[in-house]
Amino acid sequence: MLLLLCCLLVFLLGSHASPASNQAGGVTCVVKAASNGRDSAKVIRDAFKTCGKAKSGQRNRIVFENTTYTIASVLDTTGLKDVDIELHGTLSWNNSNLNYWLENSLPMGYQNQSTAWRLGGDGITFQGYGSGTFNGNGDAWYRFINGRSNYPRRPHQLTITGTTNSVFEGLIFLQSQMWTMTVIHSSNVLLQDIYVNNTSKTGAPTVNTDGADTIYANNITFRRWTVDNGDDAISPKANSTNILIEDSAFYRGSGIALGSIGQYDDTFETIQNVTCRNITSHRTKYGAYIKTWTGVNKGYPPNGGGGGYGYASNLTFEDFKLIDVQKAFSITQCTNFEGNQGDCDTSKFNIHDVYLSDFSGTIRGDVVTTLQCSAASPCRNIQLLDVAVINSSNNTTPRQYQCDSVKRTVGFNCTGPPDGEDNAFKKL
C-alpha cells in the first residue's frame, strides 16, 4: 500500500517512468512518449534505469505503448536482468542532426564501428508482436554517405552486447542507419520472426545496411527472418560459434555472408559450426558466401586490415531455393583495403569442412560456384551435393565450378580457375 502510494505520488509529480508492481512480482515501467515529436530518449533511459534490473526471482517489464517515440540521442542500456521489453509502437530515429550522431554514436566494440543503441543483459525478452518497429529513417544517411563504405561513426541501429539467455522476436526494422544489428560478446540468444527492410525511398545506395552480424558470439539462432537490403543479409564474423540460420528469406543484398574475417594482423579468429537451412534467396548476389581478408595488412579497420589467421569450419548450407541469384555459393580470400586488388593467394585463414546440399532454383549465369581460396592456406573438403539449378536467362544447366587452391572436393569436380577476382568489396 505504501509502495503504491509512493508510486502514485511519483506519477503525479510527472515522472514518465513510474514503476508499478506486476504479476511476476517485479515492477513495470510504461514509457510515456515525449510530446510533439520531441526526443523520448530521456524517458527511455529513465525506464531502463528504474525497471531494467529485476530482483532475484522476479521479472520486470518495460512497456512502449502503441505510439511513435522519436529518438534523437544515443541509448546505452546494458547490464539488464530478467526484463520483458514490449514494443507496441514505433521507435523512430531523428537524423536531422547528422553531426550529433557522428560525434556521439557509441563504440560497438569491433572494427572502430559505432551504434545508436547499446542494449544488453541476461534474461531479456524483447517482443514486438509482429508490428513493433525500429525505424532508423536511414535515407538521410544513405544520401549523405552516397555509397562510401563504412563511413566513420555512422551509427548502427542496435547493438546487442553482453547478452545471455535472451529472446528478440516479432520485430520490424526499417531503413536502418547502417548495420541493422550486431550480436556481440553474447551467447544463447534467439532472434525470430524479424523483418528488415532497408530500401531507400530516394534510390540512394544502401551500402553497409547488413541485416545482422555476430561477433564474439556463441549459440545464436536466427529463425524466420526476412531481410531486404543492399548488403549482407546475416553475417557471422570473428569468433562466431554454433550459429543457426533457418526458415528465412533474403532479398536483393549479397546473401548470407561468413566474414569478412582475418582483418586483424597476426590475430587468431574463428567461425565454427554454422548451419543455414531452408533459405530462399531472391535476386541476391549469392545464396551464401565466405570472405576473408588477404594475408597482407593494409590500412586499418573498418575499411583496411588483413593478415589475420584462424579457420572457419563445419559450415553447413542446406535446402536453398535460389531465385535469379548470381551464384549459388562463393568463397573469396581477396578482401582488401578498399579499392585495392590482388594478394588473393596470401591469406593464412583456413576454410575447411563445408557441406552444401540441396540447392535448387535459378542462377544468372553458367557459374554455380567460385571458390577463390588462398594458396597460402588452401581450402579443403568442400562438399556440394544435390544441385539442381538452371540458368534464368536460357534454361540451360550451369556447368562451371571454378576453383583456386581447393583440396578435396566431394560431389563436383572443379572445371577451371575463377574468371576474375571475386572481391567482396566490389559493388553489387
Ligand X SMILES: *[C@@H]1O[C@H](CO)[C@@H](O)[C@H](O)[C@H]1NC(C)=O
Given candidates 192, 199, 340, 357, which one binds ligand X under the rule CB under 6 A?
199
- Distance, CA of 200 to CA of 197 (rounded, Å): 9
112 binds ligand X (CB under 6 A): yes
Q: Considering only CA atoms, which of 111, 121, 104, 36 is closest in space to residue 306?
A: 111
Q: Are 35 and 67 in contact (CB under 8 A)?
A: no
- Distance, CA of 327 to CA of 221 (rounded, Å): 25
214 binds ligand X (CB under 6 A): no
Contacts of 261 (CB under 8 A, 6+ apart): 237, 238, 269, 271, 291, 292, 293, 308, 310, 312, 349
C-beta of 10: minimal distance to ligand X in Å? Answer: 27
94 binds ligand X (CB under 6 A): yes
- Residue of 139, 231, 232, 404 marked catalytic: 231
296 binds ligand X (CB under 6 A): no
Nearer to ligand X, 140 or 376 (CB): 140
DSSP label at 142?
H
C-beta of 356: minimal distance to ligand X in Å? Answer: 12
Nearer to ligand X, 89 or 345 (CB): 89
Contacts of ligand X in 129-158 (CB under 6 A): 129, 131, 135, 137
DSSP-based helix, strand, coil % in the chain, nearest 5 = 10, 55, 35
- Distance, CA of 176 to CA of 139 (rounded, Å): 9
C-beta of 183: minimal distance to ligand X in Å? Answer: 11
Query: Interface with ligand X by CB under 6 A: which range of 248-256, 328-336, 341-349, 371-379?
Result: 248-256
301 binds ligand X (CB under 6 A): yes
User: What residues does 289 pair with on adjacent strands?
Assistant: 257, 330
Decide the pairing of beta strands 117-135 and 164-174: parallel
Count of H-run helices and E-run strands, the chain: 4, 26
Contacts of ligand X in 217-236 (CB under 6 A): 219, 221, 224, 226, 228
| Number of C-beta neighbours around residue 38 at 10 A | 12
Active-site residue 266, yes or no? no
Nearer to ligand X, 10 or 98 (CB): 98
164 binds ligand X (CB under 6 A): no
Residues binding ligand X (CB under 6 A): 37, 66, 70, 88, 94, 96, 111-112, 129, 131, 135, 137, 174-175, 188, 190, 197, 199, 201, 216, 219, 221, 224, 226, 228, 239, 242, 244, 247-249, 251, 268-270, 272-273, 275, 278, 280, 300-301, 314, 316, 365-366, 391, 393-394, 396, 411-413
Catalytic residues: 231
